[in-house]
Amino acid sequence: MSILTQPIARVAPGVPSTASAEPHARLINLCKRLGPMLAVDHVSLDIPRGGITTLLGPSGCGKSTTLRLLAGLYRPDAGDITLDGESIAHLPPNRRRMTMVFQEYALFPHLTAAGNVGYGLRRRSVPAAQVKSRVGEMLELVGLSAAADKYPHQLSGGQQQRVALARALAVDPEVLLLDEPLSNLDAKLRVRLREEIVRLQKVLGKTMVFVTHDQEEALSISDQVAVMD
Amino acid sequence: MSATIARSRGLAAEPGVLVLAALTVCALFVFVVYPAVRVLATPGWDEALGVLARPRTWQAARHSLVITVLSTTSSTLIGFAFAFVATRRDMPFRDLFRVVGLMPLFAPPFMVAFAYILMFGRQGLLTNHLLGLDVNIFGWQGLWLSQTIAFFPLSTAIIQGVLEGVHPNAEQAALTLGATESAALRTILLPLAWPGVIGAMLVVAITVLADFGNAVVIAGNYPLLATEAWFMMDGLGDLQGAAVIVSILLVPTIGLFIASRALLNKREFTASGGRGAAVDQIATPPFIKWSAVAICSATSLLVLTLYAAILIAGLTRQWGSDWSFTFRHWADTASHMDAVGTSLLIGALAGLVTAGVGQIAAFVHSRPIPLRGLVGLLAVLPGALPGVFIGVGFLLAFNAPPLELADSIWLIVLALGFWHLPQAYQSTSAALGQIHRSIEDSARDLGASELRLIVDVYAPLLSRNLLAAFLQCFIRSVSNISVIVFLISPGQVLVAYVILQMISGSDWSGAAALTTVLLAITFCCVGLLQAALHWIGPATRGSQA
């Protein structure tokens, strides 16, 4: 369905690139068929370490599917995915050290903000005391310390997305995947939260892959933009 | 909810609407509140204490409690398995289980117990004839099995609704955060399903407590509150005693009813979901998958056995002694066609009452008028009342002046019509909320009076709903037992009653043949409903906002 062009733009060239010569993650000739549709058709892309790479394209171009292939939520029909030079295409999502922020946040409605943020740590059997301090740290990072005991339905859309960010970052992933994380927010909040994401990236130095259909959004936050059509 | 608020901002109600509201309140008072009050008020203190002093009353209460715990637990467990299989895309035989999981809903209320006697009883086709065993199925074991199979579809429906509300992305998020598939199901899906499971248990418990049909057929010498009330009246001629018993039965059913409504109205956990793409669902771990399939398969066999038993028994010369094939019993059903005809007439009239009153009550409830809350409450109240309570209530209320209906079919029609009101009212109310206010506004703008809206706007837009409410009430009324045993008068013959008499008179093949007729009518109605919904379909869908 779609072919990925080479990375076309390097935004903010003044910023010293944190990317080393070796890419952090690589997509190599990935293909994925969803039903009758070839959603991802021979996509290759190098994702540099410690920067924001954006997949930009119209809806239906396969960018979200590509992200899900990276996360391990879909298995590729062909091609390979490597992380630090090692193939991870065979690994289930829970062993990939990549976490994802979903378009609809996908917060767990029965858990508080703190419960959501601590979920991944508890799955890794981190001791309760450490979970608590890490959760506090993460909520502070996204400015939601006061909302720790609130349930998702008691939070605004922007707050929910911050919890989702904190939750994904709490387990200290190698790569953070963001699937149109801002599209359910109003215009003003969208700008604020995308600045927040850039700030978090700078503070934590994480490798991020960001999917969007919004060209301005892509250009304003990315270190590298890959256009899919 | 929001639609109601939007409407209440509108102009003050017209006099016509107020009159209609007053009439609705009157009707609900006469046919819901008044019979209930008569049940509670009729027995004197002496009478009440006398019944309470009988050891048998307490034995029945204890039995009712035990069987409610047993049947509710097993029904909910099986219901969960069916709901789980229906909502996971990677389940084998999913469509088959979906269909089989609905089939017990079409069985007349006595049929499950009857079919298991035919199959597993002392003269059972499977236990005795094929395996040579001597099994006594009468008693609590047989009742437990029958109620489990009869009522698990109720819990499937409720739990499935909740499971469908869980967004697949939540499970995916759990995976990316490090959970295994089974941990994701345990920590995300299961806690989110809990409100549905509890809600299902409450609804099933009410149904089990009120179950008369299965109990009267298979419980044997195991007194229960629902059957005890009938025994008091039919065996001892003690209507006041029966009133005491059904009043005792009312205590837990009202409590469970209030609890279930409170719980199922609190939807905050599931409301955040919305539906995602099924393809995003995570894979079901094999152990969980095959456990669920095993439970559903075993249950499906028991469900199919039901229908097989009725069909075979109706075509067998003499159950237990002469297994040869015959059409004689089918032919003999012709002699009961007057009973079938009366039942159909009663069912149709009761269906009209339910659909009509249900629509009017839902309409009145959506208007910004005083007493709308009362209408809403009274329209769902019958859902808390067991059939035997309704039966005793109508008998006490309308057997003598000032409102004498005895010996006319209207006594039964009104009892069944108002008893089935809650489903009709609730589905109509929900559908009403879906109709965009602008449709009403434009009709008003073009000169329609507020009352005129019912005829010109709502009835056509709700036709799908009204038809479904009518047919649901019709099917259940035609095969009803629990209400009619109290209200049937000596001259009347109703098909379900005739079948019950044949079962107790050991004319099993005749009863099975007549049950087959009842099933044929039921499935014809379901087919007609599907066809009709298909036919009305597009017009209604376009109207929804």
Task: Describe the strand order of the beta sheet including A224-227 as a list of residue ranges.
Answer: A98-101, A175-179, A207-212, A52-56, A224-227
**DSSP-derived 3-state class of residue A73:** coil
d(CA B161, CA A165): 30
Count Cβ neighbours within 10 Å for each residue of A184-197 and write b for 16 or more, e otherwise: bbeeeebeebbebb
Is B223 a domain residue? no
| B399 reaches A (C-beta below 8 A) | no
Q: Does a structural domain hold residue B466?
A: yes
B532 domain-assigned? yes
pLDDT at residue number B136: 82
Confirm if B405 and B414 have CB atoms less than 8 A apart: yes
Supply the pLDDT for residue B272.
44
Nearest by CB to residue A102, choosing from B173, B183, B274, is B173
Q: What is the per-residue pLDDT for B268? A: 55
Please give the pLDDT value at position B279. 64
Which helix (H) or strand (E) covers residue B323, if one does? strand B322-325
pLDDT at B134: 79
Quick check: is B460 in a domain? yes
Is residue B490 situated within a structural domain?
Answer: yes
Suggest the residue from B167, B169, B171, B176 to mutate for an interface test with chain A (most A CBs closer than 10 A): B176
CA torsion, points B248, B253, B259, B262, in degrees to nearest 10?
Answer: -120
Of A99, A104, A151, the CB nearest to B177: A99
CB contact under 8 A, A171 and B172: no
Which residue reads 């709490």 in tokens? A170
Q: What is the pLDDT, as a whole number, of residue B269?
A: 53
Among A56, A69, A151, A149, which Cα is nearest to A107's?
A: A151
B255-291 core/surface letters (b: 16 or more CB in 10 A; e: else): ebbebbeebbeeeebbebbeebeeebbbebbeeebee
pLDDT at B267: 58
Q: Is residue B143 part of a domain?
A: no
SS (H, E, C) A210-229: EEECCHHHHHHHCCEEEEEC
B90 interfaces chain A, CB cutoff of 8 Å: no
A197 token code pair: 């994401």
What is the structure's pLDDT at A150? 94
In a domain, B48, yes or no: no
In a domain, B382, yes or no: yes
What's the complex ipTM? Answer: 0.87
Bridge partners of residue B74, in order along the sequence: none
Which of B293, B268, B151 lies closest to B210, judged by CA?
B151
In chain B, positions 456-485, which contact chain A (CB-CB < 8 Å)?
A: none
Partners of residue B165 in chain A, C-beta under 8 Å: none
- pLDDT for the residue numbered A8: 43
Mean pLDDT over each residue of chain A, to the nearest integer: 87
pLDDT at B223: 92
Q: What domain count does chain B have? A: 1
Domain enclosing residue B534, as ranges? 1-38+330-545
* CATH classification of the domain holding B352: 1.10.3720.10
Cα–Cα distance between B128 and B119 in angstroms, integer? 9
A159 contacts in chain B (CB < 8 Å): none
What percent of chain A is modeled with pLDDT above 70? 91
Q: What is the DSSP letter of B333?
A: G
Per-residue pLDDT reduced to its tens digit, A146-186: 999 999 999 999 999 999 999 999 999 999 999 999 988 88
The full DSSP string for A15-27 is SPP---SS-SEEE
- What six digits make up the tokens of B75? 């029904």
Nearest to B178 among A94, A153, A177 (CB): A94
**Residue in the block written with tokens 């892509």:** A218
- For every one of its 545 residues, what pLDDT tens digit does chain B have, with 9 covering 90 and above? 344 444 444 455 678 888 889 999 999 999 999 999 999 998 888 888 888 888 999 999 999 999 999 999 999 999 999 999 999 988 999 999 999 999 999 899 999 999 999 999 888 888 888 887 877 888 999 999 999 999 999 999 999 988 988 888 899 999 999 999 999 999 999 998 988 899 999 999 999 999 999 999 998 889 999 999 999 888 888 889 999 999 999 999 999 999 988 887 765 555 444 555 666 788 899 999 999 999 999 999 999 999 999 999 999 998 888 888 999 999 998 899 999 999 999 999 999 999 999 999 998 898 888 888 899 999 999 999 999 999 999 999 998 777 788 778 899 999 999 999 999 999 888 888 887 778 878 887 887 787 787 777 787 888 888 888 899 899 999 999 999 999 988 888 899 999 999 998 989 999 999 999 999 998 898 888 888 888 876 544 444 33
Strands (E) in chain A, as ranges, are 25-34, 37-47, 52-56, 78-83, 86-87, 98-101, 175-179, 207-212, 224-227
Residue B405 pLDDT: 80
List CB contacts of B168: < 8 A, sequence separation 6 or more.
B276, B277, B278, B280, B281, B282
Interface with B, mutate which of A65, A74, A110 (most B CBs under 10 A): A110
- Are the beta carbons of A168 and B177 separated by less than 8 Å? yes
pLDDT tens-digit profile of A35-82? 888 888 889 999 999 999 999 988 888 898 999 999 999 889 999 999
**Is the separation of the CB atoms in B249 and B209 below 8 Å?**
yes
CA-nearest residue to B269 within chain A is A109
